[in-house]
């Protein structure tokens, strides 16, 4: 049933009657627009869903559905006092203290095998080694005295972990 406005309407309505009649006769969408409307709605819906899944609540929903894992953990290895190892050793035989930290930022307990090595003229000599067990979120600080024999050149002190394979190092200049 179609309703047509009466001609005897008061006010400004008669002025708009021809426009209203055209709107009634013209379809709401042209055939060209109708073809693309579904695709555009689908693309907008996908973009809205993707944006929602990037939020904290969206990540929680993905994890609950088994479609995503929790945040990946990591292990950090760092010197406690990066400026403290003597940058130059004057005597032929000297000692320096190496202090480093291992931090377990994963969700499970790990056993970390660590070592302290000296590298001089392409040769590596392990001077200390050990294992430390760390619960999730825990940190261990390890300090070792390293005896260094050097007369000239440089000596590299390397602290490394076996698994995951990580290492840090520092250089010491030997002066005669």
Which residues make beta-bridge pairs with 147? 95
pLDDT tens-digit readout, 8-64: 555 556 666 676 666 666 555 566 666 777 788 889 999 998 888 888 888 888 888
> pTM to 2 decimals?
0.59
- Cα separation, 87 vs 94, whole angstroms: 12
Domains of the chain: 13-64 (no CATH), 74-174 (2.60.40.3880)
CA 77 – CA 167 distance, rounded (Å): 7
């Amino acid at each position: 049933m179609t309703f047509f406005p009466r001609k005897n309407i008061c006010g400004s309505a008669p002025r708009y009657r021809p426009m209203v009649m055209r709107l009634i006769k013209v379809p709401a969408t042209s055939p060209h627009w109708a073809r693309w409307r579904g695709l555009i709605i689908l693309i907008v819906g996908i973009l809205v869903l993707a944006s929602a899944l990037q939020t904290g609540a969206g990540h929680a929903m993905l994890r609950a559905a088994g479609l995503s894992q929790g945040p990946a953990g990591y292990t950090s290895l760092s010197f406690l006092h990066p400026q403290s190892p003597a940058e130059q050793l004057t005597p032929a035989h000297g000692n320096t203290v190496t202090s480093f930290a291992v931090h377990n930022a994963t969700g499970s307990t790990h056993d970390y095998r660590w070592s302290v090595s000296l590298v001089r003229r392409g040769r590596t000599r392990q001077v200390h080694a050990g294992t430390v067990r760390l619960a999730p979120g825990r940190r261990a600080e390890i300090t070792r005295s390293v005896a260094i024999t050097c007369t000239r050149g440089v000596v590299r002190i390397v602290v490394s972990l076996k698994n995951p394979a990580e290492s840090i190092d520092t250089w010491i200049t030997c002066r005669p």
